[in-house]
A and B are shown apart, each in its own frame.
Chain A
């Protein structure tokens, strides 16, 4: 079956857009092929700075024929109805329609056969449509044309044909650009026109013309060459995935070179050197494998094999990097001249958020909250408050102004330089943590206090002004903040009643609950168990939250979920759950039937059979034992107490008829069932558990 080769050749595409564009191209073309009845075997798309390319193989040469049946009016229907049917079906006379019969009698059916078209003709429609509708994040016009593309589009290759034959050009034209079979090689090393036939020779010819089509391949080449160059000199590459992807999108023919800078610049913090070299120059830094410290070398990736083997290129890059590092050094040294606390007054004039006041006010709130949290997490209050006071000060330094990604870290360096306590300095760096799912969670009590205060203040503030995240919109990263709180609490096994923290509302607590559910689910915990535990705090149907029973202690919630999960894996657990479910179901049905609830203690006098007496006793005992265990936070023991209910519940259902003829006895037995449900609520709401 034939293959399609498509290339859209244009001026330099921003690196950050290339991967997505290749993906979009593949999806848009193949979706339309499938919609046109052309089911293909495989497709792959690629991007370089100057081209998007797509190969689709195994495309049928022809669309299948389609038979369409259209049901018409009854035989003998009014003339108007017949005429309308003919028009709609595209027939000229009713003789062309068939007559079929169903229960109601004879009616007309129009059967039209649509011949499948040649795939190449379909492609000639699809491709220009895709080019015109392409979803670039930002696109533009150029010259006198009206077409929009990410940058001016110069040529299109579109060929189609089976492996064994010379492929045909898919003939179409977009805004004056005719599809053809010619492309160009590397901008500087092979700028001439190249005639291509199909994907295999396209890739090979491009390679000869100094273009590596596959971005993954370019990235591999860069990484391998960079590591080798570093290794040869006894250094180690500081790997950087984001930079690697970006650089792979800036070159068609990667040439890796090494340069150096004056060793005196190594007095600047390594992270600042790296940020300077990475952000501004898109170069990699190297370290000494023994000391893990940066060395005065960098790796650059050029786009050409220069006639002097890169001497001029290296020299040029070295000059730019020298100038950049001079600036960075100047910034760093300037910053060191001002103490962090002396920067604070400036925050009074900087708005944090229109409705949440200035940064100065925000810092004051964080300090106050840190003061409340510090004793709860075992931190030295004075140190924690000091750290909270200084934690944002580095935002006003020159280095952080230039490189926002080193915020916190620079604060720590400057704090150390001015002789702050080590715990304070570390808290300044760590209070932003965890910044993402892979980031470390602060572990020192002072850091914990400030990190929690910073995040909780943000959440409380945005909750107060009703700027909660909705759908995919979370501009203030509130989900990340909540997840940060959760991870800090759990990783450090902290006991914290969130509702007791200043400003935390029931609504905000339910947001934490949702984040915790997501988090636990990602770790493989069953979401229904999470619900079963959370439901304990939402019990009163009237809507008022029972604050005493409210599940606002994240650590205890997780412990409960864990214990519950283990319990339900045992036979006792499974059977008890079945019993509780059975009891709940009967109750639900009968309560609905009788339009009343059966709650309250059963009357001991009305207990008749041995099994119901035994169950009532067992419930009382289990309730007591489980509550005591829960009070001691021994959830496993609470579960064992529950387990003792199981044989009594089983026996009860075995021997006792709930719907007794005696009304009073029936009511009493229903109340007993309700007690089973109540008893198990000491550990979880079993009705929320699935299975």
Chain B
């Protein structure tokens, strides 16, 4: 009797983590899979970013000769994509699961397909396709080639071979996998509205949905992003972040002979300011206070910061010096 109870509760605990019914179960399954493979499992970067790519574990670690394999969840903010919680699949804050493998292993496509299996997507039952999608990030001075990965016509991941980051050629090349977690979860859970996702995998009164966790935030942030965010302050913050980034970059260079840059001591703190500037720009853009022509010049300013940070990183130990 006692043994049977134990088994039952054991099974239900396993069910709660089933990726096809639990959002967090899906995340854990991916983490488990990539940890097994040998990735460093990181935690999200503690700053506002537009995508997992901005995490220094991707942007900076993609540069330089050293091997690097990491996976992490990254909350991503796209102020413009807010819909006050009314659109079934658009969010101004969502999760990406990011994997970066450098150098890209020869079996990286198989690894990716196996990871889908690990979250319950069987390639004998589903139509999985690699559809051309070139990636470019003007703010990061980065580009790569790859695909959108489709499962039964739904884009569930992006797959990119980084060719250039921060204006520098990537050698060796890093392979980047980005899973759109909400999309993927909606697919495996069979849910049409993101807020209906089962977050914790419970069906009883302990069930928590994605809406329970995030709907209020979506409403509040949409209002903030589109209507209230203090633009005068944000313009000021942009300038401050830009100046700070430049200042830390300048202060970090160690010169051996007169004028010859040798080594950098503060690439990471400088890059934080670049991330900051990028997010502030996104907020200003959402508020609609940046004209079309100005927009380009802001993007260029962030790119200049990213490039300088990339140059600095390459002069650090992590960058191969």
Contacts and interface: CB of A to CB of B under 8 A. Distances in A.
B144 interface: yes
A281 B125 CA distance: 19
Contact of A312 (B126, B130, B171, B173): B126
B288 interface: no
A42 to B, nearest CB: 32
A307 B127 CA distance: 11
A73 interface: no
Contacts of A14: 132
Nearest to B152: A316
Nearest to A315: B152
Interface in B126-158: 126-132, 134, 144-147, 151-154
Contacts of A144: 103, 171-173
B153 A317 contact: yes
Nearest to A259: B153
Interface string A244-286: 0000001000000000000000000000000000000111000
B161 interface: yes
15 contacts: A11-B130, A139-B145, A140-B163, A142-B173, A142-B175, A143-B103, A143-B104, A151-B146, A152-B161, A154-B106, A300-B153, A315-B152, A319-B187, A320-B154, A323-B88
Given A142-B161, A143-B172, A306-B124, A316 B187 contact: yes
A15 interface: yes
B12 interface: no
Interface of A: 11-12, 14-16, 49, 138-144, 150-152, 154, 188, 250, 281-283, 300, 302-304, 306-308, 312-313, 315-317, 319-323, 326, 351
Nearest to B123: A188
A593 B163 CA distance: 72
B105 interface: yes
B123 A281 contact: no
Given A140-B144, A143-B173, A307 B124 contact: yes
B191 to A, nearest CB: 10
A302 B127 contact: yes
A300 B104 CA distance: 33
Contacts of A141: 161, 163, 171, 173
Contacts of A312: 125-126, 152
B128 A250 contact: no
A141 B153 CA distance: 28
B173 A316 contact: no
Interface string B165-179: 000000111010000
B192 interface: yes
Interface in B178-192: 187, 192
Nearest to B160: A140
Given A140-B161, A143-B104, A144-B172, A188 B152 contact: no
A49 B132 CA distance: 10
A411 B268 CA distance: 52
Contacts of B254: none
A250 B131 contact: yes
A152 B103 contact: no
B145 A316 contact: no
A236 B161 CA distance: 42
Contact of A313 (B152, B172, B175): B152
Contacts of B175: 142
Contacts of B134: 138
Contacts of B89: 323
B109 interface: yes
B153 A320 contact: yes
B144 to A, nearest CB: 7
A52 to B, nearest CB: 16
B161 to A, nearest CB: 5
A142 B145 CA distance: 10
* Among all A-B residue pairs, the 8 with the closest Cβ atoms: A316-B152, A14-B132, A12-B130, A317-B153, A302-B127, A144-B172, A140-B145, A143-B103
A282 B172 CA distance: 35
A558 to B, nearest CB: 45
Contacts of A308: 125
Contact of A321 (B128, B145, B153): B153
Contacts of A326: 88
Contacts of A317: 152-153
A322 B105 CA distance: 37
A144 B101 CA distance: 12
Contacts of B147: 12
A319 B163 CA distance: 35
Contacts of A49: 130
B106 A281 contact: no
Given A12-B129, A143-B103, 16 more contacts: A11-B109, A12-B131, A12-B147, A140-B145, A142-B161, A151-B145, A152-B161, A250-B129, A282-B153, A302-B127, A303-B129, A316-B126, A316-B187, A317-B153, A319-B154, A321-B153
A282 B152 CA distance: 11
A255 B262 CA distance: 59
Contacts of B192: 319, 322-323
A144 B128 CA distance: 27
Nearest to B124: A307
Contacts of B127: 302-304, 306, 313, 316
Contacts of A15: 132
Interface in B265-296: 292
A152 B132 CA distance: 13
A142 B104 contact: yes
A317 B88 CA distance: 17
A346 B308 CA distance: 38
A16 B134 CA distance: 13
A322 B145 CA distance: 30
B144 A307 contact: no
A319 B131 CA distance: 19
A226 to B, nearest CB: 16
B152 A320 contact: yes
Contacts of B144: 140
A316 B134 CA distance: 25
A141 B125 CA distance: 32
A16 B132 contact: yes
Contacts of A319: 154, 187, 192
Contacts of A140: 144-145, 161, 163, 173
Most A CB within 10 A of own CB, among B103, B123, B132: B132
A98 B159 CA distance: 67
A539 B93 CA distance: 72
A188 B151 CA distance: 13
A48 to B, nearest CB: 13
Nearest to B147: A12
Nearest to A188: B123
Nearest to B171: A141
B303 to A, nearest CB: 21
